[in-house]
Amino acid sequence: MPKTLSALSARMDLLQSLSGLLLVLFIWAHMFFESSILLGEDAMYAVSRMFEGEPLFGKPYPLLVSAAGIAVFLLVAVHAVLALRKFPGSSRQYQLLNRHLGVIRHEDTTLWYVQVITGFCLFFLIPAHLYTVITQPENIGPYASADRVWSERFWIVYALLLLTVHVHAAIGVYRLVMKWYAPTGVQAGRTRARLKRGMWCILAFFILLGTASLLTYMRIGYQHADSAGERYRPASAPVGAR
Amino acid sequence: MNRIPVQEVRRSLQIRILRHNPHDPASKPCLQTFELEEAESMTLFIALNEIRQTMDPSLQFDFVCRAGICGSCGMIINGRPGLACRTLTRNLPECITLAPLPGFELIGDLSVNTGKWMRGMSERLETWVHQRDLDRADIDQLEERMEPDLAERIYELERCIECGCCIAACGTARMREDFVGAVGLNQIMRFRLDPRDERSDADFYALVGDESGVFGCMTLLGCEDYCPKDLPLAAQIAFLRRRMVATGA
């Protein structure tokens, strides 16, 4: 009988997929909450207060947002470490891969390579975003966020993040299905084509949603630039609201 | 009256072949172009034979069955792996570039030693029926009956002709030489189905439960898309991955 292999490979493979799936579900939910600004400042204000636990504890605790940010950061770190195993590890491997991609022009291999590139970009973009979330959780609100986006020039980070994270996530979900539950039978090809079409539709939806909300934050930030630092105060809110 | 459609204007094909003889120290890889007139229902097998018979008898390439069964004529056809005997020239542009399958020892020109690679894989993954007391089996006795449905499922995977196209199409196999590829993982699935093989999932995990086996597969799906026998490789690998995770993790 052959040598005994450790369980580590199986666990790492499973954990890479699970952490990726959790992150995708998180980012999709995040997009809906973030785009509450499209419904107006009051809607976004209510969402930000909800995540600070106000409906539960009677008053907001921004530290809850910091805690969630740290949890997401740890999940990203686990996913990144596991995904790094699959990156080409030497100049020779990059050379072989690039030659292979250039010659074969295979769509799914290219999709994986796009994930490698976007994944690499996310190593830098995600910490930039999470750092502000973790260290300034109280600065999330209709005016506070819009000021950060416009007056602090964060729209550049968010625009890049929007594109890379959703490309990475949509391709990731399609590849996750193919990795664990690839369709079989006579309809396998058709099912796979549908999955891929679904991937493009989901990607287009979140890019549009994210662009619309980012533009809205930019517009509010631009209009509010002269009063940057001032917090949003809904008519019904007590003094100190943002 | 029924008529067999005949292509009126015949194209002039330009076939560019990557030539190299690794056993000749003076040989340097280069593309050589051959021109020939396309014939009705011409396959690359026919075209290459015509080139060898009428233009260059030193051209090296492999063929046995001419019917997509032996797996000898795998090559890179305009960048994609495929079988020359099953590729009609009419489905290709006038300029056709042929190269040997990467990932295998080059014998010369379009001929590669897939057999050596496949044997290495087979020995490593022990792709044969494992049964206790097999050496004492009475070969005059009829084998135990197998359900037709199960026999069909085994046959479906047994259709693999080990042509090497899945290895040439796989980005993982191109980067990592020790990766067993779809052909190896398919073999594991084939013997896992076989009731005559007494190995358990734990035994199979010991063979493919690492980065050179099923967990090295990055689901690039080149194997699935370029398998000339249309084997359900992605589904087989996904199933094997689930079984190996259930066994190992």
Mean pLDDT of A38-59: 94
Per-residue pLDDT of B19-38, as tens digits, reads 999 999 999 999 999 999 99
CB B213 within 8 A of CB B185: yes
> Is the model's pLDDT at A238 over the cut of 70?
no
CB B247 within 8 A of CB B202: yes
Q: pLDDT category, A108, cuts 50, 70, 90?
A: very high
Residue A19 domain-assigned (yes or no) = yes
d(CA B138, CA A141): 81
- B163 and B229 in a single domain? The answer is yes
How many domains does chain B divide into?
Answer: 2
Buried b (16+ CB within 10 A) or exposed e, B2-21: eeeeeeeeeeebebebbbbb
d(CA A215, CA A232): 18
> Is the model's pLDDT at B7 over the cut of 70?
no
Per-residue pLDDT of A161-209, as tens digits, reads 999 999 999 999 999 999 999 999 889 999 999 999 999 999 999 999 9
- Compute CA distances A9 → B173, B210, B249, whole Å: 18, 5, 8
Residue B207 domain-assigned (yes or no) = yes
Q: Residue B19 is part of which domain span?
A: 12-112
Per-residue pLDDT of B162-205, as tens digits, reads 999 999 999 999 999 999 999 999 999 999 999 999 999 999 99
Residue A74 domain-assigned (yes or no) = yes
- CA angle B231–B117–B174, rounded 5-degree value: 75
| B218 or A185, which is more confident | B218
- B170 and B229 in a single domain? The answer is yes
Mean pLDDT of A117-134: 96
The encoded tokens of residue B204 equal: 């199979």
Q: Which of B105, B120, B132, B117 is nearest to B203 (CA)?
A: B132
Q: If you measure CA to CA, which chain B residue comes closest to A94?
A: B175
- CATH code, domain with B62: 3.10.20.30
How many domains does chain A divide into?
Answer: 1
Chain B residues within an 8 Å CB radius of A104:
79-81, 169, 222
d(CA B129, CA B154): 13
Buried b (16+ CB within 10 A) or exposed e, A106-130: bebbebbbebeebbebbeebbeebb
pLDDT value for A41: 95
* CB nearest A5 (choices: B206, B222, B241): B206
A179 to chain B, closest Cα gap in Å:
6
Q: Within its chain, how far is the Cα of A237 from the centroid?
A: 31
Q: Residue A217 is part of which domain span?
A: 15-227
Q: Which of B222, B249, B239, B155 is nearest to B194 (CA)?
A: B155
Residue B96 domain-assigned (yes or no) = yes
pLDDT value for B215: 96
B80 touches chain A (CB under 8 A): yes
Rounded to two decimals, the pTM is 0.92
B237 touches chain A (CB under 8 A): yes
> Is the model's pLDDT at A1 over the cut of 50?
no
Helix (H, G, I), strand (E, B) or coil at B31: strand
Q: Would you tell me how many other CB atoms lie within 10 Å of the CB of residue A212?
A: 12
> Is the model's pLDDT at A5 over the cut of 80?
no
Residue B221 domain-assigned (yes or no) = yes
* CB nearest B79 (choices: A14, A104, A181): A104
- CATH code, domain with B182: 1.10.1060.10
